Amino acid sequence: MTIIIISSLLILVLFRLQGLLLIAPIVAIAFLVSNKRPDATEITALRASIALSAEDISDVLAEYDQFATAPDADSLADRTLMRPALIDQDCEDPAVESFRHQYATSRRYLSRLEARLSNPALEVSQLESLLSVTDQRALDIESAWLTARQAAKRLGPNY
């Protein structure tokens, strides 16, 4: 930007009025280009952060899927003897219901997030907004999962 300013002043001194007519479009274009140029490193960092937050959500979803479907003895004992309320769709405990809701919305969110991130023209502000939402969703589902596990354990097998 400094080079453009120095060059503009030099043109103005050498050509006076004609220089002013030359400088106006050059400065306008330079200003627009410098303000619209995306910071590639910031965009890359934001995309990586979004991917990490999405991975946190995926980890919780995978942990629940492991709990609900794994054939190993520990998982089977956990879901039948310790926390059967977590897989019971009729359980009306608020914590368990909240987790089931978070689970369903998180699945949908991740599928939409992938489609949204496939757009290479996303601006920094849009990526910052996505990161904020993804971070919040990751915190929400992690919290809901821990709370639901505690509630299901408290309820036990004879709820």
pLDDT band at 37 (very low <50, low <70, confident <90, very high): low
Task: In whole angstroms, give the CA distance from residue 92 to residue 86.
Answer: 10
**Which tens digits make up the pLDDT trace of 49-71?**
999 999 999 999 999 999 999 99
Task: In whole angstroms, give the CA distance from residue 144 to residue 60.
Answer: 10
Nearest alpha carbon to residue 60 among 133, 138, 134: 138
pLDDT band at 109 (very low <50, low <70, confident <90, very high): very high
Task: In whole angstroms, give the CA distance from residue 139 to residue 145.
Answer: 10
pLDDT band at 7 (very low <50, low <70, confident <90, very high): confident
pLDDT, position 103:
97
